[in-house]
A and B are shown apart, each in its own frame.
Chain A
């Protein structure tokens, strides 16, 4: 199961077939709140790609060498049965919060223009479920390190595509005559349902 096709298949799956927003409902809070504006959507989409691609592999290393059952054997064989798996939620969320902070500092130092466009979205991402969800799925599906990188990047691209698509549709219908109580979130949910239906068409593709 190696070779470029395997990774391509994980990537396509993460972007289209198992889109993290439209099939697994992750990251919906920011997805609905920010998709009112297209440029802001592009910003948070890019920020999610960056943070997911970085945090998923880091959490993979922590899982394999610290938390998983028997992961501590590299220290001494006494730890053969030690299982720190119950700490994974706390560890993952701390890593994510710390990484978001680091990425923000790096951006501010090295790319002022990128910082100005993405800066305000980064703190929001720490509590975006898609980031933690990416790490948890990576554990559940037992990916290897290279698969994790591809999966993290693919999920980020999936989020980017979905949020930009929804923002464009919402921009397009802004003068439509929608029943007043359905305006805003209600309509956004229905649109997301239609988008999700469109993405389901990819599920027939077998790679």
Chain B
């Protein structure tokens, strides 16, 4: 198997850095912002996207030779929608609090352009093992960005770092009372929507500096 040669490594690592789905391909921004209020939400969302993207890539790549080109969008949508329904039901069953917090945004993974985009651009043209690696790389690239964004939004906006657990989240660290007593204040704006846009804009800028990519206009 060519699962571990340099080409497969490139398929996984490219989307994490130089071809990141959020900051360079500009796909899947919608959900990226809404779930970044708290770190635990972002982590659960990342896991959901890893599952959906890897499975949809593998399934579509397995049936790629039987899909007529004219109806491929409908087929892709139905495969993705079924997978997302599975995730939605699983979250409701095992992580009810989290599924309430994420509300409609789990369902909106269907219209997350990363998943359609990777299916169209990669899974329909390559074999299942490569499609799996591509799904893994892209969903981790997505996860990396939303975890960084949510880390800063939660730390500076609410003053806590929360990890996911079975219930309402486990607070790993919060800013001690003595800091507040000394005059420290949380930046409330970061918890609101403008904060998400601005932090993501800055993260995209920094990420592009690392990846060395420019865009005109």
Contact = CB atoms under 8 A, between A and B. Distances in A.
A194 interface: yes
A197 interface: yes
Contacts of B81: 89-90, 93
Contact of B30 (A25, A140, A187): A25
Chain B binding surface SS class:
helix
Nearest to B111: A129
B85 A200 contact: no
A192 to B, nearest CB: 5
Interface stretch (A46-54, A69-77, A107-115, A130-138): A130-138
A90 B111 contact: no
B205 interface: yes
A181 interface: yes
Contacts of A174: 217
A89 B103 CA distance: 13
A129 B26 contact: no
Contacts of A3: none
Interface in B160-217: 189, 192-198, 200-202, 204-205, 208-209, 213-217
Contacts of A88: 107
Interface of B: 23, 26-34, 73-74, 77-78, 81-82, 84-85, 88-89, 103-104, 107-108, 110-113, 116, 189, 192-198, 200-202, 204-205, 208-209, 213-217
Interface of A: 22-29, 32-33, 36, 86-90, 93-94, 97, 126-129, 131-133, 136-137, 140, 174, 179-190, 192-194, 196-197, 200
